[in-house]
Amino acid sequence: MTSAEIRAAFLDYFKSRDHTLVQSSPLIPWNDPTLIFVNAGMVQFKKTFLGEEKRNYSRAVSCQKCMRAGGKQSDLENVGHTSRHHTFFEMLGNFSFGDYFKKDAILFGWDLLTGCFKLPKDKLYVSVYEQDDEAAELWSNLVGLSDEKIVRLGAKDNFWQMGDTGPCGPCSEIIIDQGSHLGCGKPDCAVGCDCDRFLELWNLVFMQYNRNENGDLTPLPKPSIDTGMGLERISAVLQGKITNFDTDLFEPIIKDISSLANIQYGSSHDQDTSMRVIADHMRATVFMLSEGLVPSNEGRGYVLRRIIRRAARHAKLLNMHDASLYRLTDSVNRAMGSIYPEIVGERSRTEKLLKIEEENFYRTIDAGMNRLDEIIAKVKRDGSHVIPGEEIFRLYDTFGFPLDFAKDIAMDAGLKIDEDAFQKEMDLQRKRSKVLDVHSAKHLHKADSITLSVKTDFIGYDTFKSGATVMELLMEGNSVETLNKGDEGEIVLDSTPFYGESGGQAGDTGIITSEHSLIRVADTKKPNPDLFIHRVKVEKGSLRKGDKVFCSVDEISRKATMRNHTATHLLHKALRMTLGDHVKQSGSVVDPERLRFDFTHFQAVQDDEIKGIEDIINEKILEDLPVRTDIMNIEEATRSGAVALFDEKYGETVRVVSVGDFSKELCGGTHCKATGEIGICMVLSEGSVASGIRRIEALTGRNALEYLRSKKQELNEIKGLLKTESPAEKIEKLIQDTKSLEKEIQKLKTGSSGDMISDALKHAQDLDGVKIVNIRQDGLNPNELRLLADNVRDRLKSGIIVLSSVIDSQAAIVCMITQDLANKYSAGEIVKNISKLAGGKGGGKPDMAQGGTKEIEKLDAALESLHEIVKKATLN
C-alpha cells in the first residue's frame, strides 16, 4: 500500500463508522501560547475534551500535521538515530467526545490493523497502564490476546494527562515486534525498550478522570477517546521497510539528496544518517515556512532556524559546501504537495527564505569554524582533552555557532566539550535576559495577578463614550483604594470603550470623569484578552474603587488610528497583488500618526511598484467600500479565506474584518465603517529591516493632508525665492550657471585671461640674458599659484618664474624654470633659499619647486634678494 492509500484507508475506515472528517489544523497552534507547535491530533480538540466548546459531532477522525521539536516533547535529537522519529510527521487519529469509550476504541484499533491492514496478529503486543484492569480484560476477553502479549507499564509510559489538572486517563499502546535482528540485543530488551525492535504504532488514550488541584481523581461523567498513530510508522510496517525513511513518503526526497550530494544512499552508515536528517528537516522546514514562520532568534522562529542549521551541518558533512538545500523544496513539494496544497502555494517564498538562511549559515560557520580551529589547537598545545565550555558558549553567543556542531568537530579532533560549563554560561545568560524581561513587564505582571478576578468588557468597537464602574486602582502595580490629584497610576473598569494596545494597534487615549474627578488616560494596555488597564494621571479631584465614571475616548486620535488600520489591510492586499503571494505580514504598527507595515519580500520595492500600490489603495478608497466585521469560529474563518497572522493568538471565535470583496483578515482592531473615511493614503518610505523583510510607512487622512500641505508650502517658498513658476528648470539653470562661474573665477584668479600675465612679462627682468619674472599675487592658494606659473611659463618660452602669494596668513612660493634652462638653474635651490630667508621652508625638483613661510612680513625682503639667489642657484 502506498502511504496515500494508507492515509485514505484510515480516514475512510472511521468515516464509514460515523466519524466526521476534520481537516488538520496548522502546525502553529491557533490559541495556545503554552504550546510551541501542534504535536498531536488532539490539540485542536482540547477545548472540546474540556467541555468548553461544543461541536456538532461526537466522533471525529483526522490526519494532523505534527511537529515535535523545541518545547517539552522534542524529538529533534532522535532524528536520524532511530528509525521511527521525525520532527515533522503526520498523526492519524480517531476521537470520541463522550461517545464511545474503551471497548470500541480497542475494537476499532485491532480491527483496522489486523482486518484491513492485515498485520500478523502474532507479532502484535499491547501495553496497558498497570492499574487499568478494565483495558487488560478487554484485550484478553474481547480481542483474545494471551497474557504475555499484554504488558503492564507504569504511569510514566501509560498514563496521560493534558496538564496538572483536568481530564486525564490511562492509555494503551499497540506495538509490533519487528524481530530480534532490529533489537538492541540487551538481555532485558522487551516491550517498552527504546530501541527499534518493539515499535509503538498506535496510542489509545482513555480520558476517564478529572484531576483537581489536590491531585484527586474523579471519574468524568462522559469519558472520551483520543488516539494517535504515526503515518510514517504504519507505512514502514506495511511497506516492509526497516525505517520510516525507506517508505514512499521519504524515498523521493532521499533520492534527490543523494543526487545533489553525489553520494549513494545505503553506502555508509554516517552518510545515510546525514541524508535522513536532511530529508526529515527539509520536510519540517517546508511546512513551517509555508505557514508564514520566518527563521529568527527566538521562539518558534528559532526552532526553525535550528532545524535549518542542523540540516545545513549534515549537508556539509556530505561535502556540500554551498547553499543547496533550498533545491529540495521541490522534492518535498513533489512528495507531499498533492495532500498539502499549502506548501505548493508557498513554494517560491520557501525557496528564497531557505536559501537566505542557508547562506547566513555558511557565513556564520566559516567565521566560527576558524575560531574553533584556534581553540582546538590551543587546547591540544596545552595537552588537554577538554575544550572549555565557556569558549564554546562564546562561539555560540557571537556567531550563533551551534553546540552540537561544535561537538561533532571536537569529536573529530579527539576532544570533548565541557558541556556543564557551557550550560552554566547559558543559564547565566538566560537569567540576565529574564531580569530584563521581568523588569519591564513587572508592573503589568503584578497588575495581572491582582486583577485576575476582574473581567473588562470592551465596547469600543461601537462607541467612543460610555459609563463604567471602577473595579481596581493600581499604583506601581500595587492595589490602592484611591487615586488623588497628581497621582499617576492604573485603572481597571468593568467595561471600557478604550482600545487596549494589541495586534499592532496603539492603545487609546482620552478622558475619564467621575462626579469628583477628571482623569487623563495616557495609554491603554491589554495584558490579556479580558483585562484592560488604563494608564492615567489624575488632573482634578480623586477617584475611589467602586466609583461610577464616564469614559470618553479621544475621538480624533482614535479615528486617525482607524484610518491607518483599515488602510493597512488595503496595503497588505495591494502588496500581494503587486509583488506576489509570498508577501506576508511580519509586523505592523498603527497609531494616530502613521502606519508601519513589515512584510516578507526579497528586494527593494521599485518606485513604479510603489506607485501601483498607492493607486490600488486609493482606488479602493474612492470606491468607498463598506468595512464589515463578522464573528465566526476559526474553521469557518480559514475556510472563507481570511488571512491570518501566524504569530497571533486567536480565540476559538475570531473576528473577521472584510473590506468589500477586496480584503479579508482576522483582526481584533478598530476600523472605519467604509474606506472613504480614509480620505487618501500615501506611501512615505520603503526600506529593509532584516534579510527578506521590508518595511513600508504610509500616511492617511489628515496626516496625509498635512504632509501634502507642508510640501506645497515648501514648494511655494522655493518658487518665491527663485521668482519662478517652474523651479526645477530654474534650479537646473542655476546649477549650470554656478559651474561656469566657478570656472570663470579660476581663470581670472590664475590669470589665463591674459592681462596680468602680459603685464608680468613686460616687467620681466634680465639677468645675464635670462628673463626673470617675479610676481606677488595675494589670495591664490598653492594650487592656483602653480596653475598661474604654468601659464606664465607657456608664454615666457624661456626664463625663470617666481610667484608668491599671501593667503590665510601664510605665504606660498612657487618657482618654475623653462625646459631650456633646466640644466643651468635649480628651482629647488631657488625656492629653498627664498623660503629660508623668509623664515620658512621649501624645495623641489630642478624645474619646479614649492615653498612657504608663516612669517609673511619677511616675504618681500626675501624676494628683493632674488638676483643673488638665482646666481647662487646656477648649476655646475
CB of 92 to ligand ATP, least distance (A): 9
Contacts with ligand ATP by CB under 6 A: the residue count is 16
Smallest distance from the beta carbon of 77 to ligand ATP, in angstroms? 11
* Whether 676 contacts 626, CB under 8 Å: no
* Shortest reach from residue 257's CB to ligand ATP, in Å: 19
Record the cell numbers describing residue 196, joined without a space: 527499534
Least distance in Å: CB of 410 to ligand ATP? 27
Q: Name the residue whose CB lies closest to ligand ATP.
A: 230
Residue number with CB closer to ligand ATP (37 or 265): 37
Helix (H, G, I), strand (E, B) or coil at 346: coil
Rounded to the nearest whole angstrom, what is the least distance from the CB of residue 228 to ligand ATP in the complex? 3
Task: Tell me how far, at minimum, the Cβ of 131 lies from ligand ATP, in Å.
Answer: 19
Q: Which of residues 191-250 bind ligand ATP (CB under 6 A)?
A: 200-203, 228-230, 232-233
CB nearer to ligand ATP: pick between 84 and 786: 84
Integer angstrom CA distances of residue 840 from 105, 581, 788: 106, 73, 22
Query: Which of 86, 305, 749, 786 is close enough to bind ligand ATP by CB under 6 A?
Result: 86
91 is a site residue for ligand ATP (CB under 6 A):
yes
Nearer to ligand ATP by Cβ, of 91 and 336: the residue is: 91
C-beta closer to ligand ATP: residue 74 or 810: 74
Min CB(87)–ligand ATP separation in Å: 7
**Could you tell me whether strands 482-483 and 478-480 are parallel, antiparallel, or unpaired per DSSP bridges?**
unpaired
> Is the CB of residue 119 less than 8 Å from the CB of residue 190?
no
Closest separation in Å from C-beta 90 to ligand ATP: 8
* Nearer Cβ to ligand ATP (126/323): 126
Strand pairing category for 166-177 and 159-161? antiparallel
Q: Which is nearer to ligand ATP, 183 or 400 (CB)?
A: 183
Q: Is 310 in the site for ligand ATP (CB under 6 A)?
A: no
**Count of CB atoms situated within 10 Å of the CB of 101:** 18
Burial class for 814, CB neighbours closer than 10 Å (0-12, 13-18, 19+)? buried
Rounded alpha-carbon distances, angstroms, from residue 39 to 75, 163, 228? 11, 15, 10
* Shortest Cβ 201–ligand ATP spacing (Å): 6
The helix-helix angle for 328-336 and 269-290 (nearest 10°) equals: 70
CA distance 482 to 76: 54
CB 245 within 8 A of CB 235: no
- What's the Cα-to-Cα distance from 478 to each of 33, 446, 455, 474, rounded to whole Å? 27, 7, 18, 5
Residue 568, all three cell numbers? 493597512
Dihedral of CA atoms 748, 754, 755, 760 in degrees, nearest 10, equals 110
Nearer of residues 284 and 323 to ligand ATP, judged by Cβ: 284
Nearer to ligand ATP, 234 or 470 (CB): 234
Query: Residue 309 CB, nearest distance to ligand ATP (Å)?
Result: 19
Q: Which is nearer to ligand ATP, 68 or 352 (CB)?
A: 68
CB atoms within 10 A of CB 747: 14
Looking at the Cβ atoms of 85 and 671, the one nearer to ligand ATP is: 85
In angstroms, give the least distance from the CB of 154 to ligand ATP.
14
Measured from the CB atom, the residue of 288 and 775 that comes closer to ligand ATP is 288
Among 89, 265, 401, 499, binds ligand ATP (CB under 6 A): 89
456, 499 Cβ separation under 8 angstroms? no
What is the nearest approach in angstroms of ligand ATP to the Cβ of residue 168?
A: 14
Q: Is 68 in the site for ligand ATP (CB under 6 A)?
A: yes
CB crowding 111-124: b at 16 or more within 10 Å, else e: ebbeeebebeeeeb
Q: Which is nearer to ligand ATP, 237 or 788 (CB)?
A: 237
What span, in angstroms and rounded, lies between the C-alpha atoms of 453 and 325? 51
637: phi > 0 → left, psi -120 to 50 → alpha, else beta; which? alpha
Beta bridge partners of 590: 505, 595
Nearer to ligand ATP, 68 or 601 (CB): 68
Burial class (CB in 10 A: 0-12, 13-18, 19+), 394: middle
**Shortest Å, Cβ 247 to ligand ATP:** 12
Shorter beta-carbon distance to ligand ATP: residue 75 or 630? 75
Give the whole-angstrom CA distance, residue 615 versus residue 200.
Answer: 59
Determine what percent of the chain falls in helix, strand and coil, rounding each to the nearest 5: 45, 25, 30
Q: Is 521 in the site for ligand ATP (CB under 6 A)?
A: no
Plot region of 547 (φ>0 → left; ψ -120 to 50 → alpha; else → beta): beta
CB of 67 to ligand ATP, least distance (A): 9
**Interaction between residue 305 and ligand ATP (CB under 6 A):** no
Q: Contact residues for ligand ATP (CB under 6 A)?
A: 68, 75, 84-86, 89, 91, 200-203, 228-230, 232-233
